[in-house]
Amino acid sequence: MKKTDDPAISSTSLPRYLEHLSGDGKAIGVLTSGGDAQGMNAAVRAVVRMGIYVGAKVFFIYEGYQGMVDGGSNIVEATWESVSSILQVGGTIIGSARCQVFRNREGRLKAACNLVRLGITNLCVIGGDGSLTGANIFRKEWNGLLEELAKNGEIDKDAVQKYSYLNVVGMVGSIDNDFCGTDMTIGTDSALHRIIEVVDAIMTTAQSHQRTFVLEVMGRHCGYLALVSALACGADWVFLPESPPEEGWEENMCLKLSENRARKKRLNIIIVAEGAIDTQNKPITSEKIRELVVKQLGFDTRVTILGHVQRGGTPSAFDRILASRMGVEAVLALLEATPETPACVVSLRGNHAVRLPLMECVQMTQDVQKAMDERRFKEAVQLRGRSFEGNLKIYKRLAIKLPDDKITKSNCNVAVINVGAPAAGMNAAVRSAVRVGIADGHRMFAVYDGFDGFAKGNVKEIGWGDVGGWTGQGGSILGTKRTLPGKNLEKIAEQIRSHSINALLIIGGFEAYLGLLELAAAREKHEAFCIPMVMVPATVSNNVPGSDFSIGADTALNTITDTCDRIKQSASGTKRRVFIIETMGGYCGYLANMGGLAAGADAAYIFEEPFDIRDLQSNVEHLTEKMKTTIQRGLILRNESCNVNYTTDFIYQLYSEEGKGVFDCRKNVLGHMQQGGAPSPFDRNFGTKISARAMTWISDKLKGSLGAGKKFVSDDSICVLGISKRDLLFQPVAELREKTDFEHRIPKEQWWLKLRPLMKILAKYEASYDVSDAGKLESLRQQQGTSHGEPAAI
């Protein structure tokens, strides 16, 4: 597309565009080092394409630091085509190796010589903390290494001046998520996908035989995978290196397992991180746990060790998008680096890409291990970061029910309702709300079949055990409808009175938001609605104002990405072919745009960015040119409501006609398969955490009103809870009204539009990319959110 002022770009300060940065004369070396992780290829692709786009030369350094030391055919200039069709491939196409030689100065001397000869003074390292530490040592020694090489006559004196400093930017590729400073490392989400696929499969067989399964997952020094998979599948017990079980855990665990069996639960799942230890730092093995359960309880118990399955397979949509964003940010960081810039690492905070000093992050990561070695476990958990700490807190609240006599009763009744279309992850959110509510002393009520069911009195009390096993279920177990409350306000108010409901949690999409607005407006007429109400966004369209993410959107995105991968593969070996794929989302282009970024699409047509026949024409010409190279497949995504006249059929016919003789076309409408299926680990985890936070808000509101029978009439008692950049915010619906385009059912401003130029650049289009947000190196200690919210950890 032409260089235009992209509609995605709006900034109050003068925006800084990518055009202001040039990579002319710069050479970037990209390497993957240490253990491989899914998504590394997406990062490599982004670095290569962004580097070439800004005019730099980009070199592959094969086999990590080993290739840098060996030189020769291990360091090769990359082309645009050389990273084609690698987005969906797991592992790393440029290879990774552990390298002893690079640990010695002689090895680093050889590496410096190989880089200088090719003029490479910018390094992009994708790996774990060891790889990044090595890169920083190399950067510090660089000048000395060059002087030594000149002294030995291996390079010219001029080269020492010309290439006087080395810039280093790191991206963390590690399935363990064991690096401090980032909410998610590249590969973690995909590893969780592998684990959850196995857990879901094991659950069906365990249920048939009333078995206990002990599942061992990776994480020698970090329990993140174990913790999040336990949270995502509702495991009975979890063992982590950072938070060993208290003395006497053997009896406690067996008691818990037998209690669960007594509650008619037919299976038990215990998740163990491979590095699990007790408070004396002695290992707790999966075999030891199995023996204990068999000996104490006589349960039929099996062990499954997942091993390297977790590293393999295709990267998830989240990892592809994360790695693509990080790769682009890494190139920007290298373009802006000066001799004074410390080595930095590109990280994710909430939904925001940030740059952090590399050594600060490495130091903190090492501090965690030190705290664990010295048995300062509480500190180890805190150092792991807010995401880890929050997950652990919520897991404990949801997994272990206190006896009824130990729970202080609040004498409040709280209702939970699902509204709108079903979205994967809704059930995880309901389970979380019910259990947190019961732990807070409330009586919890489930409303069946949306506002329709509410009006008809389909309201029942729901207990702790009733929501067991809900996290992995797709759709909505409570039932959900798109009906708004407007027509039945009188009846709903009557139900609220007859069940003495003191607060309402609504889980749903745009209809839930409209319903909340109607209930807020009806407060003057109906006193029953003067109670705290909060909405948690759950819709595949991700079109709810007040939140960057909605429960269910990640699952839909993975469905789109998987389908696109399969469709592209269906054409391998045939002549050149272009696929036109229609996605859901109403008027919201989130799925088409992000699906395009994750699947490597050539174009994504969306309502938010109007297009005309000239744009379609230029896209066809662009594809025709591309198809004349080694590239054989094209992918076009179209949001279902992006244009009333340029339908999927029209675009398909246009491409078929214009591409005659060069490529042929096929079209697919993905339809409701985007709404179905088991929720992704992200949606289970996000639904669980955000819903638990919403219940805590309700409890806080009710605590303040005890005894007074207080009426809630202020705007801040009827809110939408969502993630905005790096904050978790409760925003009154009254304030969100101005930010909503009601005709098209979308927010007026959408964060993901800023990533739109990214997709175009990676598909070889000219695009105007706003880099105003980039470029600020932050301290790791700036963990807090902005003044008006609390930090959001993904």
For the beta sheet containing 664-669, the strands, ordered from the edge strand earlier in sequence to the opposite edge, are 603-605, 633-639, 577-583, 664-669
Distances (CA, A) of 341 to 331, 347, 648, 777: 14, 17, 49, 9
Please give the structure tokens belonging to residue 733.
């619906």
Tell me the backbone φ, ψ of residue 246, rounded to 5 degrees. -70, 165
- Judge contact between 397 and 374, C-beta under 8 A: no
CB atoms within 10 A of CB 764: 15
Which residues, other chains included, contact 661 with Cβ-Cβ below 8 Å and sequence gap of 6+?
A: none
Q: Is there a catalytic annotation at residue 70?
A: no
User: What letter would DSSP give residue 175?
Assistant: T
Run of H or E including 454: helix 450-456
Q: Which one from 70, 176, 440, 554 is the annotated catalytic residue? A: 176
Please state, in angstroms and rounded to a whole number, the distance separating the CA atoms of residues 389 and 368. Answer: 13
Write the CB contacts of 381 (distance below 8 Å, at least 6 apart in sequence). 242, 243, 388, 389, 392
What is the distance between the alpha carbons of residues 794 and 784, in angstroms, rounded to a whole number? 14
Which two tokens mark 624?
A: 């025709």
Q: Which residues contact 642 (CB under 8 A, 6 or more apart)?
A: 589, 592, 605, 606, 607, 611
Beta strand 75-77 pairing with 57-61: antiparallel
Contact in structure between 430 and 386 (CB atoms under 8 Å): no
Q: What is d(CA 505, CA 496) in angstroms, rounded to the nearest whole number?
A: 13
CA-based nearest residue to 505, from 752, 223, 702, 791: 702
Alpha helices for 524-612 (secondary structure H): 553-570, 590-599
- For residue 459, report the phi and psi dihedrals to the nearest 5 degrees: -125, 125
224-233 vs 681-704: helix crossing angle, rounded to 10: 70
Strand partners, 731: 720
3-state secondary structure 612-625: CHHHHHHHHHHHHH
Give the closest residue to 192 by CA, choosing from 220, 230, 222, 237. Answer: 230
Which residue blocks in 61-104 are alpha helix, DSSP H? 64-70
Q: Give the span between the Cα atoms of 538 and 508, in whole angstroms.
A: 4
Comparing CA positions, the residue from 385, 354, 349, 355 lying closest to residue 368 is 385
Tokens of 511: 């209809």
361: helix, strand or coil: helix
Which residue, 565, 576, 628, is CA-closest to 601?
Answer: 565
Residues with catalytic annotation? 176
